[in-house]
Amino acid sequence: MFSLQALLVSTGTVALAEIGDKTQLLALLLAARYRKPWPIALGILVATLINHAVSAWFGAELSQWLSPTALRWGVAVSFLAVALWTLKPDHLDDEGDRLPRHGAFVATTVAFFLAEIGDKTQIATVLLATKYDPLWQVIAGTTIGMLLANLPVVWLGHRFADRLPLKLARGMAATVFLSIAAWVAWNGVT
Instruction: List per-block mean pLDDT (blocks of 10 residues) for the chain, which spans 190 residues.
Output: 85 84 84 89 97 80 67 69 61 41 85 87 79 85 96 83 64 72 72
Rounded Cα–Cα distance for residues 174 and 171 (Å): 5
pTM score, whole prediction = 0.67
CA 73 to CA 76: how far, in whole Å?
5
Residue 111 CB contacts under 8 Å (≥ 6 apart), including other chains: 26, 30, 43, 47
Q: What is the pLDDT of residue 135?
A: 84
